[in-house]
Structure 1
Amino acid sequence: MIRRDKHLNQIVLGLQQFPVVALLGPRQVGKTTLARQLAAQWVGPTHLFDLEDPDDQARLSDPSFVLRPLTGLVVLDEIQIKPSLFPLLRVLADRADAPARFLVLGSAAPELLRNTSESLAGRVMFHELDGLSLDELAPNQMDQRWLRGGFPRAFLADNLAASRAWRESFIRTYLERDLPQLGINLPALTLRRFWTMLGHYHAQTWNGSELARALGVSDKTVSRYLDILEGTFMTWRLRPWHTNQGKREVKAPKVYLSDTGLLHSLLGIAEYHDLLAHPKCGASWEGFALREIIRQTGAGRDEVYFWGLHSGAELDLMTTHNGHRLGFEVKLTRSPKVTPSMRSAQDALALEHLYVVCHAEGVDKPWPLAEGISALPLQAFGSLADGLRAD
């Protein structure tokens, strides 16, 4: 089992500050395992309820009667199945003596639950659990993580065939069971087709009209499909940065599939050599690297952007975290070079520094390319991220 102590420590800190912590992330990403690790080290009584378990559902048929007298740590797994619990949690969280702390686990983002739950504003800390990060793995496991994705069972499978089988099963279960449980009743084949098409648009700017024409549906319908995938952590959007310099800047967001393993399964990529030969190889590496940079720096959604001009100049990622304005350009190469596009981004965005994130095995530190521009192997990013978080 891979320990995920950074996440565990953040949850503990959250429970010290808030009566409710919501641990959110896709199914099978390790939320329940993390909750059990927390319960094992919790000082005091612990109570775990799995809302998919018929026995626990029966126990919570009168939730107020069951939950009010509990003290210590109360874990409610798969909270999206019973959103009617949110009004009660608000009442229990407001008790003056705070006899219990609540850890709720969910596979749907707050936006997806908003219409069916009471607000816990001011009472809850949200923490997102993503797939396995490179700082949780050995340096020589980077390419395995890229190919298989970050879901623990896909990554830790005995062999690549078992990993592919797990990912395919996950996709079917997500479409045929998980979404209907959230009250989202869409034809599984239609949504899978959209998801696959989105894989071919991975790392490109969003063009809903083009996708709508290909699917034979309206722009509004494909936007709803995208919202569903994003609300259940299957995709993410990167917003554009506007410099207000009068230039023709790109104003549509970029869209990425969250997990490269699922991306590769949807695109029919089986082996590592298939990935390297695939037209979406560079885009897959870009999404993998950007996700890693964002999570290791701790930058929030309102602190990360891409920048691009219709004339062609662009920057894959800019972060504005902890007072630093940094640029990141991702290249699937061992020996990156400075380009005119990088120079344009450096000047237009007034970057403190620009890093060209590359694939350089065996290299554990950045090296200079030009003034204000350095090459940085992705596997060596952790040391830079630690310094940024300390600042």
Structure 2
Amino acid sequence: MKIPHQMRDFHGSLLGMLTRQRLLRHIEKRLGFFRAVELTGPRQVGKSTLARHFLPANHPNYFDLELPAVRALFADPEPLLANAEGLVVIDEVQHAPRLYQLLRYLIDRPDRIDRPGQYLLLGSASHNLLKQEESLLGRVATVEVTGLTIDETGWEDEEVAKLWLRGGFPLAFLAPDDESSLAWRQSALDRYVRTDLPGLVGNVAVPAVHRFMGMLSHLHGQVWNAAAPAQSMGVNESTVRRYLDFMTETFMIRQLPAFHENLGKRQVKAPKIYFRDSGFLHALWGVRSLGDLLRHPHAGASWEGFALEQVLRLAKPQQAFFWATHQGAELDLVMLDGSRRIGVEFKRSSVVGATRSMHIAMHDLKLDALYVVYGGPHRYYLADRMEAVPLWSLLPSRDVKTGAP
């Protein structure tokens, strides 16, 4: 969706009021060590706004490949980049599929050691989907830019509810009212299906993808099974798997893999699927207000996905899974960080207790700790190494991994 310049400037100034200092410091740290840093994430999530903290958009070293004239120049980018000094920003890098081959050469040029260039690359799809001909392995650091999190918007009940309802895309969150936010999200989804996805993956059946996204919204938080949507759409299972993978690589869907090891029990091996942004999920459901959301029959699944994203974005575990057995035991999230194993369960209710399934997970998976992230305001222990924690405990100043205040 095209945003008028005046509206972009207005929302850009509002976004500047939000605290994204943690993310800016992380990018700055990576730029202090790597010759190239790649910011990946969906469109309109704020990557360009972050890049402009390091280089203004009118700087001659700032190239926005969304603009057709700039994209035409990048048919042969070497004359533009060969003698560039200092930081170079290349926005919407997916429009230059052979760029990485040139960047690898420029980074390794021995005659430029005394005046090395540095590159900040912004892309709206994962590197797996871009299929660049050359790898910058060891030369580039990747930073995923997600939607806003509770440490950036505030953890008070009203702000958390707003973030849950509208999602973390800045223009959706900062809209003057819920109706405007919903209109933006609906338009963004339409552009994603009609323009963004085809531009990255080639020809797709737009009406079929629209239908598929609607089906996925009702499978949010469930174990993936391609058979039902394939049958409903009248296509084979490989087609719906391909659509799902495209949406995963463009940051619309999270496929949370199943954790399994030799326990002597039959364990679920298919992934769970979640919409990464709760606001887009609610737009697909037609939810217009917080009242509508609280009355929705799948409000619990929505809150689970919202809280899951907050945990993953703030805790940043090395690996993340869910766990389930065919006997009925399950755990919403298993985080591995070095030798530590942390389990997380999500409950929207205001009071929670330890369940049999949690005790089975603690024993079978040999967890160091298990946290129940719930909708109440207080922390309290449920059992040995098992604690109920509200969303505010996810903030960086309160370590959910150790339980430290």
| Offset at residue 32 of structure 1 (A) | 0.3
| Structure 2 portions without partners, runs of 5+ | 1-14
Amino acid at match of 1:132: L
Match of 1:103 among 98, 117, 120: 120
1:146 aligns with: 164
SS where residue 154 of structure 1 aligns?
helix
Contact 1:285 1:332 in 2 (8 A): yes
Contact 1:296 1:385 in 2 (8 A): no
Amino acid at match of 2:137: A
Q: How does 1:35-114 map to 2 (within 5 A)?
A: 35-39=51-55, 47-96=61-110, 97=113, 99-114=116-131
How far apart, CA to CA, are the structure 1 residues paired with 2:60 and 2:264? Answer: 58
SS where residue 69 of structure 2 aligns?
helix
How far apart, CA to CA, are the structure 2 residues paired with 1:357 and 1:68? Answer: 51
| Offset at residue 185 of structure 1 (A) | 1.3
Contact 1:297 1:388 in 2 (8 A): no
1:376 aligns with: 389
2:334 aligns with: 318
How far apart, CA to CA, are the structure 2 residues paired with 1:53 and 1:292? Answer: 33
| Offset at residue 293 of structure 1 (A) | 0.6
2:12 aligns with: none
Amino acid at match of 2:190: R
Q: How does 1:110-259 map to 2 (within 5 A)?
A: 110-114=127-131, 116-140=132-156, 141-259=159-277
How far apart, CA to CA, are the structure 2 residues paired with 1:260 and 1:5? Answer: 23
| Structure 1 portions without partners, runs of 5+ | none
Amino acid at match of 2:365: L
How far apart, CA to CA, are the structure 1 residues paired with 2:25 and 2:121? Answer: 16
| Offset at residue 243 of structure 1 (A) | 3.0
Q: Which moved more, 1:307-316 or 1:52-61?
A: 52-61
Compared CA separation, residues 167 and 69, structure 1 to 2 (3 A): same
Contact 2:322 2:334 in 1 (8 A): yes
Contact 2:226 2:241 in 1 (8 A): yes
How many residues align structurally? 380
SS where residue 375 of structure 1 aligns?
strand
1:328 aligns with: 344
How far apart, CA to CA, are the structure 2 residues paired with 1:236 and 1:385? Answer: 24
SS where residue 343 of structure 2 aligns?
strand
Aligned-residue Cα RMSD (Å) equals 1.8
Q: Which moved more, 1:92-101 or 1:145-154?
A: 92-101
Q: TM-score, normalised by structure 2?
A: 0.90
| Offset at residue 388 of structure 1 (A) | 5.4
Contact 2:90 2:122 in 1 (8 A): yes
Q: Which moved more, 1:233-242 or 1:13-22?
A: 13-22
SS where residue 171 of structure 2 aligns?
helix
How far apart, CA to CA, are the structure 2 residues paired with 1:280 and 1:384? Answer: 30
Contact 1:322 1:389 in 2 (8 A): no
SS where residue 53 of structure 2 aligns?
helix
Q: Which moved more, 1:332-341 or 1:321-330?
A: 321-330
| Offset at residue 386 of structure 1 (A) | 7.1
Compared CA separation, residues 386 and 7, structure 1 to 2 (3 A): farther
Compared CA separation, residues 205 and 185, structure 1 to 2 (3 A): same
How far apart, CA to CA, are the structure 1 residues paired with 2:60 and 2:354? Answer: 55
| Offset at residue 55 of structure 1 (A) | 3.4
Compared CA separation, residues 339 and 264, structure 1 to 2 (3 A): same
Amino acid at match of 2:42: P
| Offset at residue 183 of structure 1 (A) | 4.1
| Offset at residue 323 of structure 1 (A) | 3.6
Amino acid at match of 1:131: G
How far apart, CA to CA, are the structure 2 residues paired with 1:370 and 1:268? Answer: 40
Amino acid at match of 1:369: L
Deviations 1:221-252 (A, max 9, x none): 01100011001000011111113111011111
Deviations 1:278-308 (A, max 9, x none): 12111111111111111111113xx111111
Q: TM-score, normalised by structure 1?
A: 0.93
Deviations 1:27-60 (A, max 9, x none): 00000000001226xxxx8711000113323443
